[in-house]
Amino acid sequence: MQLIKIRFQSDLQPGLQAGFRLIAIIISVMLLGGCGQLISNAKQSFADDLSDTILGYDDPETIEKAVPSYLLLVSSMIRGEPDNPDLLESGAKLYGSYASAFTQSEQSKKRLSQRAFSYASRSMCLRYEFFCEFEQLKFVGYKELLNQFGRDDASHLFVFASTWAGVIQADSANWNKVAELPKVKASIQRVLDLDETVDNGNAHLYMAVMETLLPPSMGGQPDLAKKHFERAQELSAGKNLMVNVFYAQKYARLLFDRELHDRLLKEVVATDLSDHAYDEDRLMNVLAKQKAKELLMTADDYF
């Protein structure tokens, strides 16, 4: 699961035009031998505009076909400026979201998720030198390391943790990857401790899903997951429809609560996206409505 959101505008064409204008700016500045910082700013502006365009678009099929070219473009910009933490973080978001929402091939999902995590890790190391050796630490040492982050660091830590979760989800048969889950969970908890409102409360959604990975008989904590799902609903003002979808799929199905399951999903299907306040959630909400319909269609087979 990769829930990390890149924000969008509602119309693809203006976003593409803006992107091409920014590319022209980059080339012009390079030819003129202008200030390096201006080049960096232009690249970052393009990456941000691209992210805004993608998650605000309402046609998943178009995005699925269009984005791969931009993945390569963003990677080329990162190659040209490998020490730009903001550019790396933008790349991490874009790769992570595409791997989660569109990639069907297991091998492709693994590779794209790993690239997202690699970008996020490099970005964190550039921002926080004390974090560069995080992979070498045991759990206790890693937890102590997290205490060095403050409220202003919460959004960067969340991008890092969510891309790490994406790697584990993409390679869940690899127990060496799954063994890293407690560190991911500790990272998300630290984000919640610092600022639970990051990304419209999506840290609560991540935590909720992680608490439902196991049934109660094997150590799962569905009651705690329920609290996180409800808090995620509150913080997004009910406008992030993926919360309801995961609430139904991961919690209601786990506890065989058909009434809750159907109620949550029918609310998603009935939502009119034309009146939706969060343009940056538009693509994810379209995908949520599609998933809700699929889960309702298979409910009789499950319950």
The answer to whether residue 47 is domain-embedded is no
**What does the mean pLDDT of the chain come to?**
81
Q: Is 248 inside any structural domain?
A: yes
Question: One-letter amino acid identity for 159?
Answer: V
Tell me what percent of the residues of the chain surpass a pLDDT of 90. 49
For residue 282, the domain's CATH number is 1.25.40.920
Diameter of the chain measured on Cα atoms: 66
Contact 224, 245 (CB under 8 A): no
pLDDT band at 9 (very low <50, low <70, confident <90, very high): very low
- Give the domain extent around 235: 196-303
pLDDT digit string, tens, across residues 143-153: 999 999 999 99
Q: Are 5 and 202 in contact (CB under 8 A)?
A: yes
Query: Does 247 fall in a domain?
Result: yes
57 domain residue, yes or no = no
Examine residue 280 and state whether it is found in any structural domain, yes or no.
yes
Question: pLDDT tens-digit profile of 48-68?
Answer: 666 666 666 666 677 677 677
Total domain count, the chain: 1
Say how many residues make up the chain: 303
In a domain, 157, yes or no: no
For residue 184, the one-letter residue type is V
Asked if residue 291 belongs to a domain, the reply is yes
* Residue scoring higher pLDDT (42 or 185): 185
**15: in domain:** no
Can you tell me the distance from the alpha carbon of 259 to that of 278, in angstroms, rounded to the nearest whole number? 28
